[in-house]
Amino acid sequence: MGVVASAALLLTLIMAHGRLHGPPCLFRAAFGIPCPGCGLTRSLGCLWQGRIVLSVRYHPLGPIAFAALAATSLWSALYVMLPGARPMLRRWTRHLRDGSMGWPVLVILLLVWIIRLADAYLQGGVFLW
């Protein structure tokens, strides 16, 4: 999991400072509306550039996702490098491993998506896609 989190951070760092674009949204291509995760790649890229307000406009959960990816990367590195700390690291993450965080995260993601869709429908212009 740490390798995936580190790769995601590295790729968004490269995209933020290069002329690369993220992958196209297949959900949007199929259904004509943005998916719940649309804008996350751009949001993370903006965070690498220090543009926090723009990051939140692209996706309000971007800063949280960035922090979660960074924490996962750090946790994994500590787990590998410090075998004596593994019991403590396991205790810190037991809620993540038992799956109890999955539903609340999904509900929050869907609620944010509905708010962003409503903003687009009402032409509020608060969020960017």
pLDDT tens sequence across 23-60: 889 999 999 999 999 999 999 999 999 999 999 999 99
Measured CA to CA, the distance from residue 117 to residue 122 in angstroms comes to 9
pTM of the model: 0.88
Give the CA dihedral 41, 44, 48, 51, nearest 10 degrees: 110
Residue 127 lies in a domain: no
Q: pLDDT tens for residues 50-106?
A: 999 999 999 999 999 999 999 999 989 999 999 998 898 888 887 777 777 889 999
Asked if residue 126 is part of any domain, the answer here is no
- How many domains is the chain partitioned into structurally? 1
Q: Among 98, 100, 110, which residue's Cα sits nearest to residue 36? A: 110
Helices assigned H by DSSP within 18-125:
26-31, 40-48, 52-58, 62-81, 86-92, 94-97, 102-121
Query: Does any domain span residue 17?
Result: yes
- Return the H-helix or E-strand segment holding 15: helix 2-17
Give the residue numbers spanning the domain of 33: 2-121
